[in-house]
Amino acid sequence: MPSEFDLIRRYFSRSAPGTLLGVGDDCALMVPTPGQELAVSTDLLVAGRHFFAGTDPLRLGHKAVAVNLSDMAAMGAQPRWVTLGLALPQADEPWVEAFATGFHTLLLQHGVDWVGGDTTAGPLTIAVTILGEVPPLQALRRSGAQAGDDIWVSGTVGDAALGLRCLKDGWILSANDRQFCLDRLDTPTPRVALGLALRGLAHAAIDISDGLLADLGHLLEASGVGARVHFESIPCSAALHRQRGHAGWEALPLAGGDDYELCFTAAPAAASRIHQAAARADVMVTRIGVITAGVEQVLLDGNGTAMAFAWQGFDHFRTLP
């Protein structure tokens, strides 16, 4: 069985062209771009809680990077470096090799260097810290939304949650729809290019990890504003539309989670520039409502009638697994 150091040497020591000193010493050394602010974020993925222990390790490696890149995207930051903290029940070499390949492949696509980490025995847990850069005053905070702003969402929401319904609750979909949703669940596409393109355009942004309404709710709270959201405007995939008859399907786009799309607000006058930015970033964006003064959080159906729906999303300490 390989040792901890064999694993590090064989699978975790990758070339790091944007780094002064990568894996192998007590610390990595990076040279930040002068004048830029450093953006840092950590995400913890725990087997049985955030993913099934039997998840394909290649896809798990992708997801561990994707959820962190998504935080960079939501901040308008350029991702540069990551570290990986990994607890493994055993030194299963094929598993580690596949995981490291999935992890490194997505990093390479974004020009991000894997500069260090820690490896230990323990219940399967993946902790990634990502560092990025953003010019002064250009970070897309949650707190900048203004009354009168449009509310936008990238891509489609609810697909990952539909994938989870297939796995956990036996929802039956066509083979194509099922694969599409499982891909959205396991290999989300972080909207890094969109986040960068929204610098100077969006007033506030957040990535959707816990569910659209819950994460929008965090943005509203941070900004001290309210919102009116039109349910029929929320972008849903064809696969999700085909489940419209299923009891409770509305919860998927509203509160499904694991979407890793961006939700952001901007002045109505910026709409055409936002469409151009999205086209450059090769992702669809959709206006789903408006920011209002005050604290209302209103969801409207196609007739303009308020829909009763709890805006709270997943909470690890309140929601039973």
Tell me the chain's radius of gyration from C-alpha atoms: 20
Q: Contacting ligand ADP (CB under 6 A), which of 1, 17, 25, 304?
A: 25
- How far is it, in rounded angstroms, from Cα 219 to Cα 119? 35
Give the footprint of Mg ion on residues 113-132 (CB under 5 A).
Answer: 118
Q: Which range, of 19-27, 87-95, 105-113, 125-133, touches ligand ADP by CB under 6 A? A: 19-27
Q: Counting beta carbons within 10 angstroms of the beta carbon of residue 76, is it exposed (0 to 12), middle (13 to 18) or buried (19 or more)?
A: buried
User: Residue 24 binds which one of ligand ADP, Mg ion, none, with CB within 5 to 8 A depending on kind?
Assistant: ligand ADP
Q: How many residues bind ligand ADP (CB under 6 A)?
A: 13
124 and 53 in contact (C-beta within 8 Å)? yes
Paired sense of beta strands 297-300 and 226-230, if any:
parallel
Q: Return all residues near 29 (Cβ < 8 A) that are at least 6 apart.
A: 19, 20, 21
Report the partner that residue 119 touches, choosing among Mg ion, ligand ADP, none (CB closer than 5 to 8 A by kind): ligand ADP
Q: Is 277 exposed, middle or buried (0-12, 13-18, 19+ CB in 10 A)?
A: buried
24 binds Mg ion (CB under 5 A): no
The CB-of-86 to Mg ion minimum distance in angstroms stands at 11
Q: How far apart are CA 17 and CA 113, in angstroms?
A: 7
Q: How far apart are CA 213 and CA 5, in angstroms?
A: 44
Question: By rule CB under 6 A, what string of x and - marks binding of each residue 55-74 to ligand ADP?
Answer: --------------------
- 117 touches, from ligand ADP, Mg ion, none (C-beta below 5 to 8 Å by class): ligand ADP
* Interface map 92-131 toward ligand ADP (x if CB under 6 A): ----------------------x-xxxx------------
Q: Is 301 in the site for Mg ion (CB under 5 A)?
A: no
Binding region for ligand ADP (CB under 6 A) out of 22-30, 88-96, 133-141, 181-189: 22-30
Q: Is 12 in the site for ligand ADP (CB under 6 A)?
A: yes
CA-to-CA distance for 264 and 286, rounded, in angstroms?
A: 10
**CB-count burial class (<10 Å; 0-12, 13-18, 19+) for 299:** buried
CB of 62 to ligand ADP, least distance (A): 16
End-to-end CA distance of the chain: 34
Q: Which residues bind ligand ADP (CB under 6 A)?
A: 8, 12, 23-26, 84, 86, 114, 116-119
Q: Which residues bind Mg ion (CB under 5 A)?
A: 118
